[in-house]
Amino acid sequence: MNVTVVDRKPDTSSQTKLGIVDCDVHPYTKSAADLDPFLPERWRKHRQSIGGRSRSPFSNAPNYPRMSPFTGMRMDSYPKDGTHPGSDLAMMQEQLLDLFNVQYGLMMPLLGRGSDERNVEFGAAMATAANEWEAQVWCDQEPRLKAGIQIPLEYTEAAIKEIESRAGDRRFTHVMIPPRGLEPLGRRRYWPILEACAANGFSIALHLGGTSGHPSTGGGWPSFYHEEHPSYPQSKEALVTSLVIEGVFEHIPNLRVALVEGGFAWLPSLSWRLDKHYKRLHEEVPHLKRLPSEYIRSNIWVTTQPIEEPERPEDLLATCEWIGWDRIMFSTDYPHWDQDDPRYAFKAPLTEQQKRMVFRENALSFYGLE
Amino acid sequence: MARHVVAPVSEIAPGKSRIVDVAGRSIGVFNVGGEFYALINRCPHEGAPLCIGFVLGRFTSDRPGEYRLERHGEMLRCPWHGWEFDIKTGQSWCHPESVKARTYNVEVVPGETLAKGPFVAETVPVSVEQNYVVVEL
C-alpha cells in the first residue's frame, strides 16, 4: 500500500523556483458560440442550425459516465459565473499558472471537434476557428500559454493547409492529433499529415480523447469509467506500435511525438515485447532498420499525468530510468478531476537534475521553447 | 492548543458544513446528524481542498448485483481524485491503515459558558442565548 502520502510536505524545491512547463492544460469555451466569431458565415450558420455530427455513438454525451459534474472536472475549478472550468483566464492563472510558477502551459483544447466531425468541411472550419480562438483569446492575453493546432485528421488537404498556415507563428507549438482515428496512426493515409508536421517544425501531441466510433478498448465498449480510464494506455500502445511498425520513423526520422494523458509506466514493457518479436518477425517488416525500442527512444516522449502510483513508490523511479529521464515531461491536465499537482505527483523523491529535466528542460527542448 | 468558536450551531444544519479559517488553517466543520466534526481542508493525497467535496454514504456490495448504501452522509469525497474519507475519524477508505485526513476535536458549547471565557472567539460574535461550535487546535 501507498504509505508515503500521509502528512507529506509539499515539494516546493527547484522545479517551482525555476518555473515549470505544464504539458497538458485545457482551455474551454464559455459556450459553443465563442467560436462563432472565428467561423465563416456559411459554417457559423451550419453550427447554429445543424451542429456537429461526431463519430462517437452519442452525439452530445461522453461515451461513459464520470464521477464529477460536467464531464469530469475538478470541483473547485468552476468559475463564479457558472461557466465551464478552464474557461476563465484569471482563474486559470490563480489555480495553475501563478500558483505553480508555470513558465509555459501547453494548451490541449478538447473542442472544435475538428477531428471526429463526419462533415469534414465543417470539421476543417471548426479546427481553424478553434485555432484562431486559442491564439487570440488565450495566447494574446497570456503569453505563457502555447497553442495546439487542431486539424481535421480525415481531410488531409485541409489538415496540411492548417498546419502550413500556422508555421512560423510562435504562439503555436504543436499539432494535436487525436489518438483514436479511423485507422491506426501509422497507416499510409496519415503520412502526408505527419510529414507536414515535421516539415513545418511542429511536434505532435497525441492527447487522449475523442473517438472514431471504434470502441475505446480492443475488446469492445466498457461498462464502467473504471474500465474506461485504463483504456488510455491501451490506445497509446496501439499508437506507438503502429507508428513504429509501419515504419513512420524510418520515413520521417525527425518526427517528434508526445503521448499526452496516458501515463507512461506501460511503455518499457511494450518496448521489451516489440524488441522480442522483432528478433523473430523482422522478415515481415524489413523496412525497420533498428530495434523498435530504438525508434521509441529517439522519437517518442511521454507526459506524466495521470501518473502511476505503484505500491512501492520508488518503483516509479526505475520505470523512469527505463524510459529515459530525458523523455519524460510533467503535465497537470488542469482543470480535470484526475489532474496532478506538481508538488505531490511524484510519490518518490527525484534528484535535482531529474526535477529540472522532468518539470522543465525536456519540454522546453521538445516544444522548441526558451 | 486553543479553542476557537467558529459558528453558532444554528448556522450549520444537519448534512451541511462550513469551511472556516482557524489560526491560519482552513478547516471544514461538518454537521452529521446533529453531531459536529472538523477536518483539515487539505487532502493527504495531493493537497486538494478536501472539504468542498461531496458528502455521501458508502456503497457496499457482497456480490455483483447486490448493493447497499450505508452510513449515509458520513463520507467525504475529495473534489479532485475522489478519495473518500470518514468525516468522523478522517480515515481514508482506500488506505484505512496508513492515510488519514487530520481531524480536530469539536464540541458544542452554550453561549453563556463562552461568555465566561477563556475562549478565543475569533470573528464570531457570541450571545448567551445560542449554542456554538468550538474547534480545538
pLDDT at B123: 62
The residue to which cell 456490495 is assigned: B61
Contact A183, A115 (CB under 8 A): no
pLDDT reading at A80 higher than 60:
yes
Contact A151, A177 (CB under 8 A): yes
What are the chain A neighbours of B100 within 8 Å (beta carbons)? 6
Q: CB–CB of A5 and B95 under 8 A?
A: yes
Q: Within an 8 Å CB–CB cutoff, is residue A60 touching chain B?
A: no
Q: Using alpha carbons, list the distances in angstroms from residue A58 to A22, A161, A178, A197, A210.
A: 31, 30, 18, 31, 12
What are the chain A neighbours of B54 within 8 Å (beta carbons)? 75
Indicate the pLDDT class of residue A338, thresholds 50, 70 and 90: confident
Specify the pTM: 0.88
Per-residue model confidence as pLDDT tens digits over A261-316:
998 999 999 999 999 999 999 999 999 999 999 999 999 999 999 999 999 999 99
- One-character DSSP codes across A175-194: EE--SS-SS-TTSGGGHHHH
pLDDT at B122: 61
Within a 13 Å sphere around the CA of A264, how many CA atoms are in the beta-carbon half? 29
Q: Which residues of B56-86 are buried (b: 16+ CB within 10 A; e: fewer)?
A: eeeeeeeeeeeeeeeeeebbbbbbbbbbbbb
Which segments of chain B have a pLDDT < 70?
118-123
R_g of chain B, CA atoms, integer Å: 16
pLDDT at A192: 98
Instruction: Count residue pairs from A and B with Cβ separation < 8 A.
Output: 54
Q: Which helix (H) or strand (E) holds A295?
A: helix A292-299
The grid coordinates listed for B10 are 444554528
Distance from CA of A76 to the nearest CA of B (A): 7
Is this complex scored with an ipTM above 0.90? no
Contact A35, A130 (CB under 8 A): yes
Mean pLDDT (chain A) is: 90
**Arithmetic mean of pLDDT, A186-203:** 97
> Cα–Cα distance between A19 and A43 in angstroms, integer?
41
Q: What angle do CA A53, A334, A360 make, to 5 degrees?
A: 120
Compare A144 and A69 and report the one with higher pLDDT: A144
Q: From the list A8, A67, A76, which residue is nearest B52 (CB)?
A: A76
Q: CB–CB of A340 and B100 under 8 A?
A: no
Q: Which of A110-119, A250-259, A300-309, A332-341 has the lowest mean pLDDT?
A: A110-119
Per-residue model confidence as pLDDT tens digits over A202-251:
999 999 876 777 888 888 888 888 888 888 899 899 999 999 999 999 99
Q: Within an 8 Å CB–CB cutoff, is residue A345 touching chain B?
A: yes
What are the strands of the beta sheet with B103-110, ordered from one edge?
B3-8, B131-136, B103-110, B35-40, B25-32, B17-22
> Cα–Cα distance between A61 and A65 in angstroms, integer?
9
pLDDT at A64: 61
Strands (E), A151-225: 172-176, 203-207
